[in-house]
Structure 1
Amino acid sequence: MNQPTRSLHYFFTGQPFSDGVRTTLAILLPALLLAQWGQFEVGLTIATGAVCVSVTDTPGPPAHRRNGMLAALGLVFGTALLTSVAATSGWLLGLEIGGLSFLLTMFLVWGARAGAVGTAGLLNVVLLLAHPPALGQALSHAGLLLLGGLWYAGLAVVAYQVRPYRPAQQALGECVHALARFLELKARFYNPATDLDDDYRRLVAQQVVVNEKQEATRDFLFRTRQIVNETTSTGRRLVLTFIETVDLYERITVSYYDYRTVREAFGASGVLLEVATLIRHIATELDHLGIAIQANRPYEGPGPDLTAEWGRLQARISTLKADSPAEGSPRVLQKILVNLRDIIRRVGNIRRYFDESLTANAPAPNRAADHARFVAHQEIERQALSQNFTLKSSVFRHSVRMMLACLAAFAVAEWLWHSRHNYWILMTVTIMLKPGFSLTRQRNTERIVGTLAGGALGAAMLWLVPWPYARFAVLVVFMVIAYSFQRTKYVVTVIFLTAYLLILFSFLGLNYLGVAEERIIDTLMGCAIAFGAGYFLFPNWESEQLTDLMAAALRANLAYLRQLASRLAGRPLPPNEYRLLRKAVYVSGANLAAAFQRMLTEPRSKQHRPSQIYEFVVLNHILSSNIAALTDTLRQAAPAVPPFPPESRRALTSALAGLQKSLARIAPAPAEPAPELGPAEPTVPVAPDDKLLLEQLTFLQKVSGDISRVTEVLVS
C-alpha cells in the first residue's frame, strides 16, 4: 500500500470523516424531511441549531463532549431569546453583540472546550441576524434551535453508545500515523544528499504533530473511566498499545548522532542509504498498523521481514571498514544497529494489539489513579473569570479585540448595507480573529483563497451538472468534505463550504452569481476587519511568548538531566516519575517548536532573532534526545551502578551548571540545589563502556554550553 492509498485509508476511517458525516446528516435530514411537508424554513432552523451545537463536539472523553453539548444547548436557547428581543432596536442589537462577543470569548479562560461553547453561542447570534424572528415568535424559534441541538447531541451520543471504542481507536491510529511519519523523517538524516538544517526543520515540525496526537490520545484514554477501569481485553489493549507507542517515540528520539560526522565517515560507502531504507520500511510497517487500529480491522500482515533485513544490514556493517581515521571503527553504526533492533522489537509489540490471547493475560496497566497524573486538569472555577479581567491576561485582550472587531463589523454593515449583510461580515470576523496574530493571518489567507476557489468550483459544478439529482449528490459530497476538514485543513473547508452553499442557493431559486459576488465582498471586508484588529488592537506576538516557552523547555530538560545525575549516583527513580519528566520534556519542546513556527509567519519586524531561536529549538531537541539515550543505557545496565570517574562527574556538573545559568538568564529565579553526584572513583580503571559514558556526558556538556551561548545572545 503506497503513501497516497494509506492517506486515503486514514481519512475515511478517521474521526474527522466520522464527524463530517454526522454533521452532514444532522443538517440535511431535518431540512429534507420538513421540506416534503412544506416546512423548509422550520427544518432550516432546526439544522441551524445542529450546526451550532456541533461546534462543541470536539474530540475528547465522552463525558466532556456530553457536558460541552449540554452547555451549548442552554446557551443557544438563551442567546436566541435575547437576540430576538434585541433585534427590535439597532442600538440594543449593537449592545448585545458587543457584550456577548466579549463575554463568550472570555470562556477561553476555562479551556478550549469551554471556548468552543462560547463560539457556539456567538455563532447562533450571528446566524440569527440573517432573519431575526418577530418578538411573538421568539420562544418557538428558540425551541426549534434547541430541538436541532438536541437532534445533533442525540446522534453523537447514540454513535458513541453503539461503538464506544471507535473514538479511542481512531485517536490511537492517528497517533501511530504521526509517529510513523516522524520515523520516516528520521531516515532523511542518513541520506547524505539531504540538507541537515532542512531535516531538522521537518523533524521539529513533526514533533509538534506527534505531541498533539499523543496528548489527544492520552486525554481520551486516561479520562474515559470505561477504558482505564475495565478489565476487558479491548480497553486493556488500547492502553497497553498507547504506552508502547510512547516508549517507541522515546526510542526513536534517543537515536541522535552527530549526523554530519557520520555522513563524512560513511557517506561514500553507501551503508547509510541502506540504514535509511530499513528505517523507511519500519515506518511503513508502523503506518499499516496504525491504519488497522484506526479502522478496527485485522492487521493485513505479515509485512516485510524486518528482522531479516536488519540481519543483512548487520552483516554489511560487520565487514565495513571506516574511511575516517577519526572514527577508527564503525562503532557508531553498531549503536545504530542496536537502536534499530529495539525499534523493530517495539513495533512487533504494537502488532500484539491484534492478538487478544496475548493481551488477555498481560499485566494490567496502572489504573485511573496513576493515569490521572498524566493528564492536565482544568476545573470550571467562577473566580477564574474575574481573575482574568486585566490587560496582562491574553484571553482578556483577545476578548476586547473580539468585541471591538464585532462592533466595527456590525457598524460597517449598518452603514453600507443597512443590515442586509451584517451576519456574513460578522461571521467572517468571529471565525477569522484568533488569539495570536499568526493564526489570524493564516486564517485570513485561507478564507480569501478558499472563498475565491470555492466560488469558482461551485459555479463550475452548476454549469457542468444541470441535473437536479446529480447536483444534490454533489452537494452532499461537498458538505461531507467541508465538515470533515474543519478542524484539520481550514482552506479545504472554505472551498467546499462556499461551493455547496452556491449549489444550495441555486435550489432555493436565488441568483447564485449575485450571491457569490456578495459573499466575496463580505468576506473581504470581514477579513480586513479581523486582520486589522489582530495587528493593531493589543497584538499578541509569538516572540513575546517565546521567553516563557524557552524557560519551560529549560526547566524540563534540567529536571530530566537531574534524574540522570541521580541515577548515576545510584538512586533509583520510579517508572511513573520518569514518565512524567519525559512527558514534560516532550510537551515543552513541542510547545516551543510550535510557537517558533508561528512566529515565522508574522511580520519580520516582529520576529526576535529567529536564527538564534531556531538554534535553541534544535539544541533543546538534541539535549533531550541525548539525556534520554543515556538514561536508557543506565536502565539497561541496571541493577549494576556504572563507575562514575572524576571526568564524568565534572562533565555532568558542568552541563547542569550551564543549563542553570541559561535558565537564570531567561527567567531569573532562586537557584535549586544540584543533586549529589556521589563520590568519584579515581582508582577504578576506565573500561570501554565507561569511556563511552564519558564521551556522551562530554557531548551533553558541549550542548549545554552551546545553549548557554545562544541564550546569552538572546537576552543581550
Structure 2
Amino acid sequence: MKQHNPIDDFKNFMYTQYFSDGVKITLGVLLPAFTFFHLDFLEIGITLSLGAMCVSIADSPGPWLHRKNGMTYTLFFIFLTALLTALINSNIYLIAIEIFVLCFLFSMFYVYGARAASVGTAALLIMVLNIIPGKTSLKPFEHSFLILGGGIWYFLLSTFFSTIRPYRYAQQTLGESISEIADYMRLRARFYGNEVTVEENFKDLVNQQVKVNELQDNAREALFKTRELMNESTNAGRLMIQIFVDMVDLFEQTMATNNDYNTIRERFKDSDILIAFAETIDKIADEIEYIGFCLIHQEKPQKHALTLKDLDDLKHKIDALEAKGISVLILKKILINLRNIFNRITDVYNYFSKETSELRTSSTPAELSRFVNHQSFDWKIFKNNLNFKSSVFKYALRVAIVCLIGFFVGQAFSLGQHSYWIILTILVIMKPGFSSTKQRNYERVIGTILGGIIGAVILVFIKDETVRFIFMLVFMLITYSFIRIKYFVGVIFMTPFILILFSFINVDDSATVIASERILDTLIGSFLAFISSYILFPDWESAQFRKFLPKMLKANLSYLEHIILRQSLLPISVTEYRLARKEVYVNTANLAAAFQRMMNEPKRKQHKIKEVHKFVVLNHILSSYLANLSASFLENSATINSEQLKLIRKSRFYLEEAIEKIDSDLEGSTKTKLHIHLSDKKAESEITEQLELITKVSADLSKISERI
C-alpha cells in the first residue's frame, strides 16, 4: 500500500488542518488589503489586514470554544496596545517604558499555556509595528479601531469556517494522531532487522512516542471538549470517539511487544523469520496509516494491506522452525500480539459501516472529560510565578530587557525605518528554554537569508506587478500552512512574501535595500536573543529535568497498581485504568522531550547524561512490560497466586525506593492497598514471566535512580 505522509505528500497535505488554516489565514489577511487597494485606500486596507493577522495568531488548532476565547481576548489586547502605542510613540522614553512593561507582562502569559502565550505574542506584535512614529497618517483612535475591525473580520471568517465544517478539525487531528501510531509501529519493525542497533531504535521509539502523545492530546481536546461530539448527537461524532478510544487501546498493544531484541536477533540470525516479522509489522503499520488517511480524506476504508493469510503464513514459518527443534515460544507470543492488533484494526474498519446506535461508547461525557486538561486562569497562578524560582518569570524578564536593548541598538545606529524588525526577531526567537531558543535562532537566521535572496531575485528580475502578486499569494499560503509545523520552511517563504509586500507599499525602496535591512535586523536580533539565553537568567533544562523523574516513576507505579486492581475483589472501572495509562504516556513524552532539550544544551550543562538516557529507556521498557502484563491478564482471564503477589510487592518496593532516592518527598505517590483474592491454581507461566521482567527492570530503575 502506498504510504501517505501528511507533510511530504502534497496531495495528502492539502487535506490536513495545516493547509486549511493556511488558506483561512491567507484569505483573512490578504482580502482587506486587496479590496481597499482597489478603492485607493491602501493604508486602511493594510491596517485592517494587520489586525486580522494578529488575531490569526491566537486561532491555533484546538476546540472551537478555546479558539473563540483566545481570539476574543486578542481583540481586546491588540486594541488597547495599538491605541497606547500610537498615543506615545513620539516620546522615546515613554516607548522604552512601554516596551519593557508590556514585554514582561505579555510574556508572563506563558503561565496560562500556549494559547494564552499566543494572545500575548499578538499584542506585542501590534506594539512593535507601531513604535516608529509617522508610519501612518491615521489618527491614533482611527488606527486602533481599524486594527480592531480587521481582527473582528478575521474572527467572523474563522467562525464561518468552523460553522460549515464543525467536525473537520477533529477528523484531521484524529487522522494525524493515527498516522503517528503507524510510524511508531514501523520503528517497532526495525527491531527485527540489523539496520540500526537496539539501543538506537529505543531512542527513536521514545522520541516518536513524544509525537504520538502530543497528537493524541490534541485529538482528546478536539473530541472531548466539543459539545456536539461529547453528546454523540451524530454518527460522525460517535464514529470518531469510538475510533479514538480503540486506537489508544491499540497503541497500548503496540507497546506490549517489547522483548529482548538482541537475543532474538542472535537466536534467529540464520533464518529469514525476522524479515517475515518485519514485513508483517510494516503491513500492520500501513493498515493503521490507511485508517488515518481515510479520516483525513473523509473516505471509507476499502481493503486491507494485511490479511489473515499473511498471519497464517507467518505461523507456518514459525512451525517449520519449531519442527527443526528451535525454541520459538517468544515468536509465538509476538504473533499472538500481532493477531490481536489485526483484530482491533478490523473492528475499526467495521465501525465505518455500523449503524448509529451501535457506535455509542460505554463512557459518559463526564468520564471522557476527565481525560483532558482544564487550564485555570486564576490570578493566583500569575502572582505565584512572580519570583526567580519560576522559569516563566525569568523568561519574561529576559524578553523585556533584551527587547529594550534591541530598541536602543536600533535607535543608536539608525538602522533605517525598519529597525523594529530587531525587536520582532527577538520576540519570535526567544523561548523559555535554551534549546528552543537555539533551534529557533538557527531556523530564523538561515530561513531569513535564504528567503531574502529569493525575494531580492524576484524583485530585481520580475517587474510585472501581477506576477509579483501571484508570487506573494503563493508565498503567503505556504508560510501560513507551514509556520506552526515546519517553522524553517515558514520563515523561508515568509521573508520574500514580506519583501514583495513592502515593494507595493514603499515603491521608492530598491529590492536590495529592503532585503539587506531585513537580513541585518534579523542578524542583530538573533545575536541579542541567543547571547542573552546564555548570560541573562539562563534556564537550563538540566536544572528542570529532575522534576520529571519522580513523576515518571509514580506514573508507572500507578499503572502497575491499576493493572493489578483490575484483578482485585473490587475491580476498578475502565476509565480509572485508562486514566492511569494516559498518565504513563504523558509523563513518558514529557520526560523524553525534556531529555531532547537537555541534549541541545552546552556539554558542560549536561549532567550524568548516560545515566539519564538509561533511565528514560528503562522507563519505556517498563511501560511496555506493563502493557504486556495487562494484555496477558485480559487474554487468559488469569487470577493471581501467592508467587505472583510476591513479585508484585517486590516491583512496588523497587519503584517506591527509586522515587525516594530521587525525591524524598513522597507526597502524591501511590500507596494503594491491593485487596487480591489469591488463587490456589498453578502459576500461569506467562503472567509469572512478565512479572519477573517487571521486577527486574524495577530493580534496575532503583539502581540507576541512586546514581542520578
Measured against the shorter chain, the TM-score band is: over 0.9
Paired with 1:377 and 1:334, the residues of 2 have a C-alpha distance of 43
Task: Report the equivalent of 2:231.
Answer: 229
Secondary structure of 1:361's counterpart equals helix
Match of 1:578? 577
Q: Which runs of 5+ in 1 are unaligned?
A: none
- Alignment partner, residue 165 of structure 1: 167
Residue of structure 2 in register with 1:296 after alignment: 298
Write out per-residue CA displacement over residues 440-478 of structure 1, whole angstroms, 9 at most, x where no aligned residue: 000000001101111222234445655433332222111
Matches within 5 A, 1:558-707: 558-567=557-566, 570-638=569-637, 641-646=638-643, 648-670=644-666, 673=671, 675-676=673-674, 678=676, 684-686=681-683, 690-707=684-701
How far the C-alpha of 1:386 sits from its partner, in A, is: 1.6
Give distance in 1, aligned partners of 2:434 and 2:592: 17
Map of 1:477 onto structure 2: 474
The superposition leaves residues 91-143 of structure 1 with CA deviations (integer Å, 9 ceiling, x where unpaired) of: 00000111100111111222221111111101110112355567970000001
Q: Offset at 1:5?
A: 6.6
Change over 3 Å in CA distance of 1:21–1:322 after alignment to 2: farther
Q: Distance in 2 between matches of 1:133 and 1:8?
A: 40
Structure 1 residues 136 and 645: CA distance shift in structure 2, 3 A: closer
| Separation in structure 1 between the aligned mates of residue 569 and residue 192 of structure 2, nearest angstrom | 36
Corresponding residue for 2:308? 307
Q: Which residue of 1 aligns with 2:333?
A: 335
Measured at CA, do residues 484 and 672 of structure 1 come closer, stay the same or move farther in structure 2, by a change above 3 Å? closer
Identify if the C-alpha distance between structure 1 residues 110 and 276 changes in structure 2 by more than 3 Å, giving closer, same or farther.
same
Tell me, in whole angstroms, the C-alpha distance in 2 between the residues paired with 1:495 and 1:553: 38
In 2, distance between residues paired with 1:296 and 1:621? Answer: 34
What is the Cα deviation at residue 192 of structure 1?
A: 3.1
Q: 1:204 maps to which residue?
A: 206
Query: How far 1:248 moved relative to its partner?
Result: 0.9
CA contact (8 A) 1:240 1:365 kept: no
- Per-residue deviation at 1:404? 0.6
2:633·2:687 contact (CA, 8 Å) conserved in 1?
A: no
In structure 2, C-alpha distance between the alignment counterparts of 1:3 and 1:456, rounded to whole Å? 35
Amino acid aligned to 2:537: F
Aligned-partner Cα distance in 1 for 2:315–2:294: 30
| Counterpart AA for 1:354 | F
Aligned partners of 2:184 and 2:208 also within 8 Å: yes
Question: Does structure 2 retain, via aligned residues, the 8 Å contact 1:46–1:144?
Answer: yes
Q: What do residues 534-572 of structure 1 show as CA deviations (whole Å, max 9, x unaligned)?
A: 111111111112111111100101111222343455542
Verify: 1:29 aligned to 2:31, yes or no.
Answer: yes
* Equivalent residues of 2:284, 2:306 under 8 A apart: no
The aligned amino acid for 1:311 is D
What is the rounded CA distance, in whole Å, between the counterparts of 2:90 and 2:332 in structure 1?
A: 78
3-state DSSP class of the match of 2:59?
coil
Q: 1:679 to 1:35 in 2, by over 3 A?
A: closer
Show CA shifts across 1:276-320 (max 9, x none): 111111111221221220122333x21334222111111111211
Structure 2 counterpart of 1:312, one-letter code:
D
Paired residue type of 2:63 = P
Query: Residues 672 and 168 of structure 1: is their aligned pair in 2 closer, same or farther, counting only changes over 3 Å?
Result: closer
- Report the CA distance between 1:194 and its aligned residue: 2.4
Amino acid at match of 2:653: A
Describe the SS at the equivalent of 2:146.
Answer: helix
What is the identity, as a one-letter code, of the residue corresponding to 2:347? N
Per-residue CA shift, 1:140-159, capped at 9, x if unaligned? 00011011101111110000
Candidates 114, 118, 128, aligned match of 1:112: 114
- The aligned amino acid for 2:602 is P
After superposition, residues 530-541 of structure 1 pair within 5 angstroms as 530-541=529-540
Aligned to 1:379: 376
> Partner of 1:417: helix, strand, or coil?
coil
Does structure 1 residue 366 correspond to structure 2 residue 367?
no
Distance change >3 Å, CA 312–CA 209, structure 1 → 2: same
Task: Report what 2:704 is aligned to.
Answer: 710
Q: What is the distance in 2 between the residues matched to 1:643 and 1:225?
A: 42
- Judging changes above 3 Å, is the alpha-carbon distance between structure 1 residues 577 and 674 closer, same or farther for their aligned structure 2 residues? closer
* Structure 1 residue identity aligned to 2:436: L
Q: Measure how far apart 1:29 and its partner are.
A: 1.1
- Per-residue deviation at 1:673? 4.0
Q: Mind listing any 5+ residue stretches in structure 2 that lack a counterpart?
A: none
Could you tell me which amino acid in structure 2 is paired with residue 367 of structure 1?
T
CA distance in 2, matches of 1:643, 1:398: 52
Aligned equivalent of 2:491, options 472, 491, 494? 494
Counterpart check, 1:389 vs 2:386: yes
Q: Following superposition of structure 1 onto structure 2, how do residues 367-446 of structure 1 map, counting pairs within 5 Å?
A: 367-417=364-414, 420-446=417-443
Paired residue total: 702
Q: 1:331 to 1:358 in 2, by over 3 A?
A: farther
**Which residue identity does 2:207 align to in structure 1?**
A
The structure-2 alpha-carbon separation of the partners of 1:418 and 1:317, relative to structure 1 and needing over 3 Å to count, comes to closer
Instruction: Output the CA distance in 1 between the equivalents of 2:676 and 2:413.
Output: 77
User: Cα deviation per residue 1:73-92 (whole Å; 9 max; x = unaligned)?
Assistant: 01111001100122120000
1:458 corresponds to which of 455, 458, 462 = 455
| Residue 267 (structure 1) shift | 2.5
How far apart, in 1, do the equivalents of 2:681 and 2:664 lie? 40
Helix, strand or coil for the counterpart of 2:321?
Answer: coil
Q: Deviations over 1:473-494 (max 9, x none)?
A: 2221111111111111111111
Distance 2:362 2:542 in 1: 41
Residue in 1 aligned with 2:2?
Answer: 2
The one-letter code of the counterpart of 1:472 is F
Please say if residues 632 and 686 of structure 2, whose CA atoms lie closer than 8 Å, have aligned partners that are also in contact.
no
Match of residue 12 from structure 1: 14
Q: Does 1:512 align with 2:506?
A: no
Q: Which residue pairs with 1:319 in the alignment?
A: 320
Q: Please report the TM-score for the alignment, with normalisation by the length of structure 1.
A: 0.94
Q: Percent identity?
A: 39
How far off its partner does 1:215 sit? 0.3
1:61 is the counterpart of 2:58 = no
**Inter-partner Cα distance in structure 2 for 1:212 and 1:120:** 24
Confirm or deny: 8 A CA contact 1:567 1:634 kept in the other structure: no
1:198 is displaced (CA, Å) by 1.6
How far apart are residue 204 of structure 1 and its match? Answer: 0.8
Change (3 A) 1:306 1:88: same
> What do residues 319-371 of structure 1 show as CA deviations (whole Å, max 9, x unaligned)?
11398x9xx5201111111111111112222223432x344433334232111
| In 1, Cα distance between equivalents of 2:132 and 2:55 | 19
Check the 8 A contact 2:192/2:278 in 1, yes or no: yes
Contact kept? 1:569, 1:676, Cα under 8 Å: yes
Q: Which amino acid aligns with 1:99?
A: V
SS at match of 1:268: coil
Gap change, CA 1:461 and 1:277, over 3 Å in 2: farther
Partner Cα distance (1:636, 1:69) in 2? 49
Q: 1:311 to 1:55 in 2, by over 3 A?
A: same
Higher mean C-alpha displacement, 394-403 vs 426-435: 394-403
Q: Does the aligned pair in 1 maintain the 2:363–2:575 contact within 8 Å?
A: no
- Matched with 1:92 is 94
Where 2:269 maps in the other structure, the secondary structure is helix
